[in-house]
Structure 1
Amino acid sequence: MKSYSEITGRYLKQNKKRTILTIVGIILAISLFSGIGNLFFSMRDGLVTNERKNKGNYEVKYFGVNKDKVNKLSNNFEIKDYGVSKDNNFFILKDDKNKENKSAMDNKAKIINLDFYDNSMLNNVMTINMKEGRKPKAADEIILEKRAKTKFGKKVGDYIEANNIDPEVLVKSLKVDSKITTQSNLQKLKSNEVKKYKIVGYYEKKVSQTSDLYEARGYLDKNSMKKDDNYSFYANLKEKKNKVDIGKKVGSTVGLSENKKIGGDPEIIFNDAVLRLMAEGNDTLLNKDTMSVFIFIATLIIVCTVAVIYNAFNISVAERINQFGVLRSIGATPGKIRKLVFKEAFIMSIIAIPIGIISGYLGIYTTIKLMSNSKRFVFEGLKIGFYKEVILICIVLTLITIILSVLGPAIKASKVSPIDAIRNSSNLKKEKIRRRKGRLIKLIFGIEGAVAYKNIRRNNKRFIITVFSLMISLIMFIIITSMTKMTDEVTKQLISSAPFDAVIQTKESMDEKFISEIKSKDDIKKVYTPKIRRALVYLEKDILNEKYYEKINKDMPKSEKIKGKDYVCLDQVTYSAYDKSSFEEVKNNLADGKIDTKALNNNGVLLINRNEVSKKNGGRVVADITKYKVGDKIRIPRTKDKFYSEMEGNKKLDLKGEFKQGVEKGDFIELTIVGILNKDIFNISAAHDSIGLVFSDKCFEKNFGKLPIDSVAINYKNEKAGEKYSGYFEEKAEELQGSYMDLHSLNDQMDSIQKQISVFMYGFIAIITIIGMVNIINTITIGLLLRKSEFATLTAIGMTKSQLNKMVMLEGLLHGIFTSIFGSIISYILYNFLLKQSFNFINFDIKFPIDVFITGILGVIAITLLASIIPLRRLKKMSIVENIRAKE
């Protein structure tokens, strides 16, 4: 032997099982770092790719640049690639001479917002989802959004003629009257210049909307760009860092600034959605949050893994205390002893790091690959990459973990005196004597339990770390399983409470012909056409139920003095108009009164009065918000604007001011309550702390005007019917700028997504649990090694082998019991906290998941018992005489 360091290699070979167990612990930690790291970076890249598809494949946009500036920017060294567009060219479609068989809606003026794109914009910068035809290749060719096909009545290959409109004049006109497109005076805005374009295709717009403004894309020939026209320049930058600063610098070379504006838009606009994901955006909040999550997960893995490796090296040191003593006695310095231990650690690290990195990558890659065939794959389109950053992170974190783990045992080994080391008594001398009675444990498990409890608490740090790693597993299992179960329960209750199986919601009105067409279909049981709007109501203060507000620990609405009376305003009140089928369905929810069609048509109304709300301090309250009874009168003031606008983009109406003025004038619509309902089954999103009013179609039209049918609920005879008609209804809904939702299909999709997320979460739990299990094996093993003389003494004074075995098994069991107690308490607190947070949007009774808690507790106890059985083999090999001598 030429050097002390040669002992390290021999020891590792001699103790293969111990070496393999330690390496497995390190591999588990590295595989977690690698798997989570590769998933994190792959998801980031996937999100960046999706954002580039949705928002545009660019990082910075230079707005309002002329031809000269476009040329300068395109030749800038910092620009990687670019695209040029000429945006916001408005045209009014020339009158169609063939107006026969067209509805009033089809004959409304139609405005085209035409953006001209160069080749790069059409094929690289902007993602255009072509549904029919091809992209434009000439200046007189355009593509239109898909809904324009039915509205314009034009096919691919047809031509359209349109008059140019000054965009500034149009914007000003729209600010004055948002409905100007429905009026004939829009014709005054157009110029005499007529443009003729050939339609070469139709594309799917990313966000559908209902308006008389239709989007189109044309071809921009850069060679024919006009000198004085303004263009938009979309660019990606070469540099990977400091993109915002470089983008501003590039803009400044052509006189552009982020602080200067053209028509309300800055001259330099960054694609924040993309840059934020790349950690390059102006807003670093997301970056900090993401980093915090990553640091938390990394810290959690390090803490759990440090315990495994720390215990493993403690065992290694304890087993070789006498060897270290011999080395010290023949001249080895404490520094050389420390080097031996560190060398041992780094040899195992060199073996474990590549295996762990590859294992983590293959694990996450295989998982994603296997799950990609699932319905509604939550990571659809995700490609798992192998990142050099992850390799570097794994190496750094592993070295930190190894150093933290080995530092203690290395120092301990170097401080051992030769005499104590040879006698193997140094470890025992280090432990402080603590009086731990453990009376309850002794009462339950006997003397073996009392001794086992004192043993596991001898090294309190080791005990805490081991229990902590198992607690993490237990808490994660209980919380994830409980919340998954709660979501399933809520989804099932939601579906079962809804009287329909599917719903079509549109932004355009559905006519009676379409409704009749739906009703005529086979396998359709019932069709409902409830019409719902939101407004508010002024009620006299005395009519409110004070006990309701006391129960929910909430202040009553502030009252206002109007004409000598105290009034309160309730906002977000639903005003619903039901058809005959809808009234038949709500009969089951009638708490008082009756559904009398004649009375309802004669200013009768059904009141939705019962509310289910969550208290601030937890729990649910089911109570009536008002004291109204059947036969009472409700007075609604007559106002110009009756409801909140359903259209996006319209300014919010000051209904409160209008309703208050109506009350002051004393001009009311007087309604008689003919029945009281428990809940509004057709309006899942109804406010849980307000009332609802249900009218007949006739009564609603008489008092408030006719409402368009924008929602149809369908009840199928069986689930197969839903599958049969889903394609048909989806297509129809798309034509009407709406959506089709099948509740059963939605439930299946949510279930599939939950299962996919559970695979990742339970996989993480499994690895942390294995780490905890290895911790227990190592903890009990180190205890056996350090207490050989104690076991020998106990055996010598009469303790049987079975009692010794029981004592060792109880050490493992007590780890499980303490983990179960503390883990269950923390899980219960977290579960209740999450449940209270969910009360804001969950309106169903949730059963406490006692079965999940029991399963988790029994699982932990079983795992700890199993972990304690493995080290029992060492007891069989112990010699009473030799172990007692070690103490002498």
Structure 2
Amino acid sequence: MRTYSEITGRYLKQNKKRTILTITGIILAVSLFSGISTFFFGMRDWFLEHERRSSGNFEVLYRNVTDDKLDRITKNFEVLNYGISIEDAENVMAIKDHDNFSVGLNILDGNMLNNVKYFKLTEGEKPAAKGEILLDKRSKVKLKKSVGDYIELYSSKDVKKHIKPENKYKIVGFYDPKVISGDKDVPLSGVTYLSPDSINKNHKYTVYVNLKEKRNKRAIGKKVGESIGLSSKVHENPRDNEIDFNDNVLRVMAEGNNALLNDSMKNMLLFVTILIIVCTVAVIYNAFNISVAERINQFGILRSIGATPNKIRRIVFKEGFIMGAIAIPLGILAGYLGIYTTIKILGTSKSFIFGEMKVAFYPEIILISLVLTAITIILSVMGPARTASKVSPIDAIRNSSSLKKGKIKRRRAGLIKLLFGIEGAVAYKNIRRNNKRFLITIFSLMISLVMFVVFTSIGKVGRDMSSKLMFSYPFDATIQLRDSRGKDSIDKKVIDEIRNKEGIESLYTPKVVGGILYFDSSYVNKDYYKKIAEPEPEIEKINGKDYALMNNVKYSSYDKNSLELAKNDLEEGKIDIDELNKGGVLLINRNDISKNNGEKVISNITNYKVGDKIKIPKTKNVFHLMNEDGNTDIHKENKKTIENNEFIEVTVAGVLSRDSFGGNIRHSGIGLVFSEEYFNKEFGEMPNSIVAIKFKDSNARENLQNYLEDKAVEVDGSYMDIYNMKKENDSVMVQIAVFIYGFITLITIIGVVNIMNTITIGLLLRKSEFATLTAIGMTKQQLGKMVVLEGTLHGIITGILGSGVSYVLYKMMLKSSSGYLQYDPKFPIGVFISGFVGVILLTLIASLIPLRKLKNMSIVENIRARE
């Protein structure tokens, strides 16, 4: 042996199991960081690609560019690629022989069509020559046109009989637009080709640009625009900005206009990084600390034969670097393969949340993993190395360096002794003997438990919220008009046609309209307003009686099928159509609202109960839509009706937990559900803006989907496939769960490795102690029970402390997301119990594994502290 440091390699080879256990812990920690970082970078690239496809593949755009300045932008050194479109306020074109419709025409060059803008073609191809046009798919139904047909367009300045030849376009394809439109106010959309020879001084152009530089894109973009005389002034209307930016794309690149959002991704990665470093340091530090403690006598012998403290430190550091050199590359590779395999498996699902997400090797991740793990190992080894270098040769050889004189701490273990016997009391005192080691172990295990409980609880709340919202609707699809004012109506012939289609089980035609209500102020639930810390409704004295005004009331007319469906949400009373036709009403009374401090309040807003009478002022102008022109003061008219003592008196026949077709009521309001017959009699017939559909089976849903989509376009509405959305949502929830639980599993494994390392090496370190206990009468069964109880007590203490911390974090996360929750989530007690029991079982199992080492233990040799 030429140097003392040569001992390191021999020691690692001789103690293969301990070396492998420590290396495994490092590999897991590195793979955790590498995998999560790879996923974050891959997700960032996917989001960037997604935003470029949805909002446009550009970073900067320049408006009001004249033809003579185009080259100064497109040939600028900073510009990577570009696209050009004609800027024209008169691009809404009328259609010959179709006076009811118009087309919003976009004139784009080849780069815009093929690189900047994304078009989801449903038929045909993109225009590639002058005189070709691509129309949105609704045009096929509304204009009864097909690929190959011609369409003639003219602007408001043209005269029909003088249409120019260039206004005649050949339809080459149809695409799926993002907006739902289709009348004079919101035109159909079309795209035609801008040929290079069409660029002239008669038009101004908009140039869409991607920049070469990866940083400071805003500053560079402004510099390029200002170089040709464009203004960087920001106007109230973004369309007036001559230099504008694609904030959706730049935000993903951390170059958005919101500094807080720019830092969010960095902060998230920083949080995960710190968490991993803390957990890894705890594991590796614990492993090295125990390893050094076990070999104190060996270091003492080295000191006695001339090894200086500095050389002892080098030996310990060399151990760490050798294990790090082996573990870091394997950890990086394991993290990459783990994410790659997960993405590949989940990518086979049609509804994969991250679409065509690609996983690649990122040099940044490799570099950061190397640096962070090296720092972690240095931090982990530093303490044990210092301890080893301070060993006194005499104390080390006598194996008494870890024993220090001081005040005796009498730890009472009365309850533990009562539950587990003398072995339990000894086990508790053993684990508390070295507080430093005890706290590191508990902390490391707590990280695993807290991560599991908090993320599982929040995931459960998310799944419950999803199931209680639109996906809890007991129908499969809807056709709904885009006009939210309630003036338009779906034709009864269309409704009957859909109803009679083969495969339709039930059809629902509820009618809902917003209005106001003056009601007896004694029915106001004052506790509700105290909880939300908002003022009670305005009280007005009319004819000597106090009336409260509620401005957010949903008046609903349900057909027979809708009333049958409402029975699923009935909380009190009954739904009897005959009773409702005679003046009964169903009350939706429950509100949910988020306070400014994030607290969620779910409560009844009034004190009405089944059998109570509600007096509705008998006026034609009770609904908001009747006052849109501003000619009618509905509040004044309602008060006048009350003064004349003219009411529609209805009886609360039942109470619903929510609107079966509109979900929960928010913003301090109530819902009144009438039968269709009674509503028409008292309020008049209302337009029908929604049709809900229930299919007989999944085959019927698939067979009728195209038909219903076409019908939705025909009535200027939208088709929503709730069944498919639920299916996609379930798939998304599973995929998110895979990533969350994959992360939790790795953290948990690190915790398990930690306690296995602690207990296994702790046994080796204390063999002389165990031999002494055996020599004075403790049986091997009692000794085994004591060792198992040590691990179990670790689990119990971790469970108690971890559950408390988890509860606090769960409440904090719940509070921060309360604005998104539409119901009062139940406390996930099952998750907390599972975490508590799970950590105890894991520590118990980890304790059972090393018990085999006690079977062949020699009492005499171990009392002498010799292995």
> Structure 2 length as normaliser, TM-score?
0.89
- Counterpart-to-counterpart distance in 1, 2:23 and 2:82: 51
Q: Is the 8 A contact 1:248 1:258 kept in 2?
A: yes
- Counterpart-to-counterpart distance in 2, 1:131 and 1:73: 34
Q: Which of the residues 307, 310, 314 maps onto 1:335?
A: 310
Q: Which amino acid aligns with 2:151?
A: I
Q: Which of the residues 802, 825, 828 maps onto 2:781?
A: 802
SS in 2 for 1:90: coil
Q: Which amino acid aligns with 1:199?
A: I
Spell out the pairing of 1:809-848 with structure 2 (5 A cutoff). 809-831=788-810
Spell out the pairing of 1:512-531 with structure 2 (5 A cutoff). 512-531=492-511
> Which segment is superposed worse, 544-553 or 149-158?
544-553
Q: Is the 8 A contact 1:92 1:190 kept in 2?
A: no
The Cα shift of 1:585 comes to 4.8
Spell out the pairing of 1:642-721 with structure 2 (5 A cutoff). 642-643=624-625, 658-663=633-638, 666=641, 670-679=647-656, 681-688=659-666, 689-695=668-674, 707-718=686-697, 721=700
- Stretches of structure 2 lacking an aligned partner (at least 5 in a row): 484-488
Q: Which amino acid aligns with 2:589?
A: R
Cα distance change on mapping 1:265 and 1:722 into 2, 3 Å: same
Match of 2:486 in 1: none
SS in 2 for 1:282: coil
Match of 1:180 in 2: none
Deviations 1:643-670, CA, capped at 9 Å, x for gaps: 399xxxxxxx698994334346559984
- Counterpart-to-counterpart distance in 2, 1:126 and 1:88: 18
Cα distance change on mapping 1:612 and 1:125 into 2, 3 Å: closer
The Cα shift of 1:406 comes to 0.4
The Cα shift of 1:808 comes to 1.2
- Counterpart-to-counterpart distance in 1, 2:856 and 2:602: 62
The Cα shift of 1:442 comes to 1.5
Deviations 1:711-770, CA, capped at 9 Å, x for gaps: 112234455544553454345335545444454444433332222222222222222111
- Counterpart-to-counterpart distance in 2, 1:216 and 1:784: 77
The Cα shift of 1:85 comes to 0.7
- Counterpart-to-counterpart distance in 1, 2:461 and 2:695: 27
SS in 1 for 2:433: coil
Alignment length (residue pairs): 848
Cα distance change on mapping 1:439 and 1:39 into 2, 3 Å: same
The Cα shift of 1:885 comes to 4.2
Match of 1:57 in 2: 57
The Cα shift of 1:599 comes to 5.5
Match of 2:127 in 1: 136
Q: Is the 8 A contact 2:108 2:193 kept in 1?
A: yes
Cα distance change on mapping 1:828 and 1:323 into 2, 3 Å: closer
> Which segment is superposed worse, 311-320 or 857-866?
311-320
Q: Which amino acid aligns with 1:777?
A: M
The Cα shift of 1:310 comes to 1.2
Spell out the pairing of 1:474-485 with structure 2 (5 A cutoff). 474-485=449-460
- The answer as to 2:169 corresponding to 1:197 is yes
Deviations 1:519-559, CA, capped at 9 Å, x for gaps: 21234332111122223334453453446656887652243
Q: Which amino acid aligns with 1:568?
A: A
Q: Is the 8 A contact 1:311 1:782 kept in 2?
A: no
Deviations 1:418-454, CA, capped at 9 Å, x for gaps: 2122222212339985332122111111221112111
SS in 2 for 1:461: helix
The Cα shift of 1:351 comes to 0.9
Cα distance change on mapping 1:434 and 1:246 into 2, 3 Å: farther
Match of 1:35 in 2: 35
The Cα shift of 1:699 comes to 6.7
- Counterpart-to-counterpart distance in 1, 2:565 and 2:622: 33
Q: Is the 8 A contact 1:91 1:163 kept in 2?
A: no
> Which segment is superposed worse, 420-429 or 122-131?
420-429
SS in 2 for 1:281: coil
Match of 1:504 in 2: 479
Q: Which amino acid aligns with 1:330?
A: I
Q: Which amino acid aligns with 2:734?
A: K
Q: Is the 8 A contact 2:521 2:539 kept in 1?
A: yes
Deviations 1:674-699, CA, capped at 9 Å, x for gaps: 55441254333341542223355577
- Counterpart-to-counterpart distance in 1, 2:554 and 2:366: 57
- Counterpart-to-counterpart distance in 2, 1:454 and 1:397: 36
Cα distance change on mapping 1:411 and 1:831 into 2, 3 Å: closer
Match of 1:429 in 2: 404
Cα distance change on mapping 1:857 and 1:593 into 2, 3 Å: closer
Cα distance change on mapping 1:609 and 1:879 into 2, 3 Å: closer
Q: Which amino acid aligns with 1:578?
A: Y
Q: Which of the residues 131, 146, 150 maps onto 1:155?
A: 146
- Counterpart-to-counterpart distance in 1, 2:127 and 2:775: 95
Match of 1:442 in 2: 417
> Which segment is superposed worse, 399-408 or 712-721?
712-721
Q: Is the 8 A contact 1:536 1:656 kept in 2?
A: no
Cα distance change on mapping 1:202 and 1:49 into 2, 3 Å: same
Match of 1:869 in 2: 848
- Counterpart-to-counterpart distance in 1, 2:825 and 2:447: 25
The Cα shift of 1:490 comes to 5.7
- The answer as to 2:11 corresponding to 1:20 is no
Q: Which of the residues 223, 233, 242 maps onto 2:207?
A: 233
- Counterpart-to-counterpart distance in 2, 1:20 and 1:263: 61
Q: Is the 8 A contact 1:638 1:662 kept in 2?
A: no
- Counterpart-to-counterpart distance in 2, 1:644 and 1:11: 88
SS in 2 for 1:671: strand
Q: Which amino acid aligns with 1:361?
A: Y
- Counterpart-to-counterpart distance in 2, 1:759 and 1:255: 53
RMSD: 3.6
The Cα shift of 1:384 comes to 1.1
SS in 1 for 2:617: strand
Q: Is the 8 A contact 2:525 2:604 kept in 1?
A: no
Cα distance change on mapping 1:144 and 1:430 into 2, 3 Å: farther
Q: Is the 8 A contact 1:536 1:655 kept in 2?
A: no
Match of 1:302 in 2: 277
- Counterpart-to-counterpart distance in 1, 2:631 and 2:836: 55
Cα distance change on mapping 1:22 and 1:222 into 2, 3 Å: same
Q: Which of the residues 114, 117, 123 maps onto 2:114?
A: 123
Q: Which amino acid aligns with 1:217?
A: V
- Counterpart-to-counterpart distance in 2, 1:453 and 1:34: 38
Q: Is the 8 A contact 1:605 1:694 kept in 2?
A: no
Between the two proteins, what is the percent identity of the paired residues? 53
Spell out the pairing of 1:237-252 with structure 2 (5 A cutoff). 237-252=211-226
- Counterpart-to-counterpart distance in 1, 2:539 and 2:163: 59
Cα distance change on mapping 1:665 and 1:162 into 2, 3 Å: farther
Deviations 1:278-297, CA, capped at 9 Å, x for gaps: 11222232232222222222
Q: Which amino acid aligns with 1:815?
A: H
Match of 2:329 in 1: 354
> Which segment is superposed worse, 557-566 or 761-770?
557-566
- Counterpart-to-counterpart distance in 2, 1:210 and 1:392: 54
Cα distance change on mapping 1:346 and 1:562 into 2, 3 Å: farther
- The answer as to 2:745 corresponding to 1:766 is yes
The Cα shift of 1:65 comes to 0.8
Cα distance change on mapping 1:431 and 1:15 into 2, 3 Å: farther
Match of 2:553 in 1: 573
Cα distance change on mapping 1:657 and 1:79 into 2, 3 Å: farther
Match of 2:616 in 1: 634
Deviations 1:52-106, CA, capped at 9 Å, x for gaps: 0001111111111111221111111010111111134535655655xxxxxxxx7
Q: Which of the residues 533, 545, 559 maps onto 2:513?
A: 533
Deviations 1:4-24, CA, capped at 9 Å, x for gaps: 221111111111111111111
> Structure 1 length as normaliser, TM-score?
0.87
Q: Is the 8 A contact 1:507 1:736 kept in 2?
A: no
Q: Which amino acid aligns with 1:206?
A: K
Match of 2:81 in 1: 81
Q: Is the 8 A contact 2:659 2:665 kept in 1?
A: no
The Cα shift of 1:136 comes to 1.7
